[in-house]
């Protein structure tokens, strides 16, 4: 899949809700709306997969989730509080129903929203999504994240990562690949092009954790099987068999508990399913699903 640029203008809006909390979201495109719950370390400026959806005539609404971007961390009190705030965005835009795409650590937000506001949801797509308890205090990744991505440190962490990515993009991709893929690097690099490396570099330049990633770590264990079982809308689950960030067991767990779901296991290199081999299949499956509903 070649690199594609956003050909339409993204509008970013900030507003204060009825009890004084700041919300940020972006909207781009015209047509049937998709509400995107971005992954960890991201915000309303996310780009992966957007150009392809815009080409198909969709509009994309992306809140900066609780604690990310300019959205108030207090909205991360729990998923109920956060999802009610995301609902206010749809009401503000006079949008009755949306497709939902929930990505990685945004999985719990998408699951909770689809479970609790079924009348506002056309369909749910889970992309590399966290669907059950994820990192815990026993995991080394959790311990490292609590140090590197805590709010007082994260901007320096990302400044270093972006600087090194800009200067040594292939080296940084190699260093970070195990965070995304279970495959040996020789097998990863066989699936990745120079264009993919450039998209990875750009990702590292727009990443920030804010308070959001700490909120994500605190909330992933709050999603229950009951939340998944109460989802009634059509659901597509897209996940790589080689994902090391959110292992494929999250996808199987979602399929087991969501009645009206379709599971598509990808053979691509890992967590970032928009890059590399099998990304075209991922887009084909996603578009076929969206146009059906």
- CATH number for the domain including 179? 3.40.50.1820
pLDDT for position 5: 63
Q: 18-28 burial, b for 16+ CB within 10 Å, e for fewer?
A: eeebbbbbbbb
Round the CA-based radius of gyration of the chain to a whole number and report it: 18
* Cβ proximity of 175 and 201 under 8 Å: no
Q: 132-136, 169-173, 181-185, 259-263 — which is least confidently predicted?
A: 132-136
pLDDT over 80 at 65, yes or no: yes
Question: Is 3 a member of any domain?
Answer: no
**Active-site amino acid positions:** 104
What is the average per-residue pLDDT within 38-49? 97
Domain hosting 95: range is: 11-292
pLDDT bracket for residue 18 (50, 70, 90) = confident
In a domain, 71, yes or no: yes
d(CA 79, CA 137) in angstroms, rounded, equals 20
> What total number of domains does the chain contain?
1
Whether the predicted pLDDT of 2 surpasses 50: no
Q: What is the pLDDT of residue 20?
A: 86
Q: pLDDT category, 8, cuts 50, 70, 90?
A: confident
Is residue 5, in this structure, part of any structural domain at all?
A: no
Q: Is the pLDDT of residue 1 over 50?
A: no
Would residue 1 count as lying in a domain?
no
Question: What is the average pLDDT value for the chain, to the nearest integer?
Answer: 95
Q: Give phi and psi for 179, each to the nearest 5.
A: -70, -20
| CA distances from residue 33 to 59, 193, 201, 223 in whole angstroms, order as listed | 5, 31, 28, 25
Q: Is the pLDDT of residue 45 over 70?
A: yes
Within its chain, how far is the Cα of 96 from the centroid?
Answer: 22
Considering the domain boundaries, does residue 6 fall inside one?
no
Asked if residue 100 lies in contact with residue 110, where contact means CB atoms within 8 angstroms, the answer is yes
Task: Decide if 242 is inside a domain.
Answer: yes
Instruction: Determine the Cα–Cα distance for residues 233 and 260; give it in Å rounded to an integer.
Output: 7
pLDDT digits (tens, 9 = 90+) for 195-225: 999 999 999 999 999 999 999 999 888 999 9
Average pLDDT of the residues in 99-112: 98
Identify the pLDDT of residue 163.
Answer: 98
Cα(230)–Cα(226) distance, rounded to whole angstroms?
A: 6
Helix, strand or coil for residue 119? helix
pLDDT of residue 186 exceeding 70: yes
Q: Which residues contact 82 (CB under 8 A, 6 or more apart)?
A: 65, 66, 75, 76, 109
């Amino acid at each position: 899949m070649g690199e594609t640029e956003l050909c339409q203008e993204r509008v970013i809006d900030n507003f204060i809700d009825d009890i004084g909390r700041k919300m940020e979201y972006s909207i781009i495109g015209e047509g049937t709306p998709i509400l995107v719950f971005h992954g960890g370390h991201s915000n309303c400026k996310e780009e992966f997969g957007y150009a392809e959806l815009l080409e198909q005539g969709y509009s994309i609404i992306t809140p900066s989730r609780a604690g990310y971007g300019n959205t108030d961390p207090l909205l991360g009190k729990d998923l109920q509080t956060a999802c009610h705030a995301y609902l206010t965005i749809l009401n503000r835009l006079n949008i009755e129903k949306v497709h939902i795409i929930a990505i990685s650590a945004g999985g719990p937000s998408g699951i909770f929203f689809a479970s609790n506001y079924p009348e506002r949801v056309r369909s749910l797509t889970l992309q590399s999504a966290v669907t059950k308890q994820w990192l815990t205090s026993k995991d080394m990744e959790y311990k490292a994240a609590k140090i590197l991505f805590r709010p007082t440190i994260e901007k320096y962490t990302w400044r270093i990562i972006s600087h090194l990515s800009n200067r040594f993009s292939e080296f940084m991709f190699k260093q970070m690949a195990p965070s995304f893929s279970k495959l040996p690097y020789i097998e990863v690099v066989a699936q990745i092009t120079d264009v993919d490396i450039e998209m990875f570099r750009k990702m590292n330049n727009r990443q920030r954790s804010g308070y959001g990633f700490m909120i994500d770590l605190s909330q992933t264990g709050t999603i229950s099987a009951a939340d998944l079982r109460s989802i009634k809308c059509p659901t597509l689950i897209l996940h790589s068999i080689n994902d090391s960030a959110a292992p494929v067991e999250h996808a199987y767990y979602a399929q087991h508990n969501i009645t009206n779901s379709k599971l598509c296991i990808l053979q691509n290199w890992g967590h970032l399913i928009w890059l590399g081999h099998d990304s075209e299949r991922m887009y084909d499956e996603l578009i076929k699903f969206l146009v059906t509903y």
